[in-house]
Amino acid sequence: MVEPRIAVAVVTMGNRPAEVDALLESVAKQDVAPARIVIVGNGCRLPEFAERLSLPGEVTTLDVEENLGCPGGRNVALARLREYGDVDIVVELDDDGLLVDPDVLRRVRDLYAADPRLGIIGFRIADENGETQQRHVPRVGKSDPLRGGYVTGFLGGGHAFRMAMLAETGDWPAEFFFAHEETDLAWRAADAGWKILYAPELLLQHPKTSPARHAIYYRVNARNRVWLVRRRLPLPLIPVHLGAWLLLTLARTRSVAGLRAWFGGFAEGLRETPGERRPMRWRTVWRLTRLGRPPVI
C-alpha cells in the first residue's frame, strides 16, 4: 500500500500571530510530518515561520495583496501545491485552531490509504473545554458530536481533501468570500461520487465563536445561500430550499438590522449571477437524503 503524501495549508490575515505560531507548533509535533506546509497571508505580509519555529517538511509562505476571503485564500494554497505536484492529501486548518493530539496526520493518512473513494474528511471542532457547538456537527438536529460516519458536509475549520478529488470537482468557490463555501464544495464532491467522512477522533481545538461576529454575516450568508442553490440544485428544489431557510431565518433572527441585511443579501443573490450552474443529479439528491440531510434542509 502506497502511503499518501500530506500537506498542511493555513490561511491567515496576520491578526493572530500567537495563535498561528501555536497551530504550527502543533503541526510540528505530529508523529507523521507533512511533506509540505503552505501558509497564505490573506491581505498581509508574513514572517518566515520555518526559520523561527523549526517546522518539518518544505515550508512556503505566500503573501496576497488583498483579502480574498477564506475560500479564495485557500485556493491560493491549493494552486501552489499543484505547482509542486507531489502531494496527495491537503489538510486545511483555521489559523486559530490547534491540533491537540500528535497522531492526527497519521490517522488522516491511514483513512485515505484505506479507501480510494474517500474525498473529504471533516474533523471534530471543540473548544478548550471539549465542547462542540451543535452547528459544528454535520448532521441535522441535536446529533452526538462523537458519532462518526459518512455525512453530506464537512467543517471548514479543520478538514482534509484528496487532491485527485479537487482535480475533478474544482476548488473552493472564491466568489462566496465567506459562508456556505463548504456546502458548495461538498455537494460537488457527492455528485461526483466521492465520500465525505466525519471523523470525530480527529480533533481541532478552536475557540467558541458565532458566525454572526463578522460584520458581513447576515448579508453574505443570505446572498450565498441563494447562489448555492442556484448553482447546485435541480430547479424544482430551489424554491423549496429557499422557502425553508426563509422561515427558519424569520424564526431565529431577533435583530431587526440583521433581518434587513439578510433580506438585502437575499435580493442580491437573486439579482446577481451566481457563477456556473451545474445542478446535482437526482440520484445525488437521493444519496444525500439517505445520509440524513436532503438538500432542502
> Is residue 288 one of the residues assigned to a domain?
no
CATH number, residue 20: 3.90.550.10
Which three three-digit cell numbers place residue 113?
A: 490509504
Residues 182 and 51 in one domain: yes
Residue 216, pLDDT score:
82
> Is residue 194 one of the residues assigned to a domain?
yes
Are 296 and 229 a contacting pair, CB within 8 Å? no
Query: Which amino acid is it at 210?
Result: S
Which residues form the domain of 127? Answer: 6-209
DSSP tag of 6: E
Residue 143, pLDDT score:
86
Classify residue 65 as left (phi > 0), alpha (psi -120 to 50) or beta: alpha
Are 43 and 52 a contacting pair, CB within 8 Å? no
pLDDT at 209 over 80: no
Residues 222 and 111 in one domain: no
Residue pLDDT, tens place only, 110-164: 999 999 999 999 999 999 999 999 888 999 888 899 999 999 999 999 999 999 9
pLDDT at 215 over 60: no
Residues 17 and 153 in one domain: yes
Q: What are phi and psi of 61, to 5 degrees?
A: -110, 135
Classify residue 194 as left (phi > 0), alpha (psi -120 to 50) or beta: beta
> Is residue 223 one of the residues assigned to a domain?
yes
Sequence-separated (6 or more) residues with CB below 8 Å from residue 267: none
Q: For the whole model, what pTM was predicted?
A: 0.95
Residues 107 and 18 in one domain: yes
> Is residue 284 one of the residues assigned to a domain?
no
> Is residue 296 one of the residues assigned to a domain?
no
The DSSP code sequence of 183-239 is: HHHHHHHHHTT-EEEEEEEEEEE-----GGGSTTHHHHHHHHHHHHHHHHS-TTHHH
> Is residue 247 one of the residues assigned to a domain?
yes
Cα–Cα distance measured from residue 32 to residue 36, given in angstroms and rounded to the nearest whole number: 12
DSSP tag of 94: E
The mean per-residue pLDDT over the stretch 22-34 comes to: 96
Query: Total domain count for the chain?
Result: 2
pLDDT at 94 over 80: yes
> Is residue 233 one of the residues assigned to a domain?
yes
- Residue 91's nearest CA partner among 38, 132, 55, 46 is 38
Cα–Cα distance measured from residue 165 to residue 116, given in angstroms and rounded to the nearest whole number: 10
Sequence-separated (6 or more) residues with CB below 8 Å from residue 190: 152, 196, 280, 284, 287, 288
Cα–Cα distance measured from residue 22 to residue 28, given in angstroms and rounded to the nearest whole number: 10
Residues 91 and 198 in one domain: yes
Residues 126 and 262 in one domain: no
pLDDT at 210 over 70: no
pLDDT at 214 over 60: no
Residues 43 and 76 in one domain: yes
Residues 51 and 110 in one domain: yes
Which three three-digit cell numbers place residue 162?
A: 484528496
Spell out the SS3 assignment of 265-290: HHHHHHHCCCCCCCCCCHHHHHHHHH
> Is residue 127 one of the residues assigned to a domain?
yes
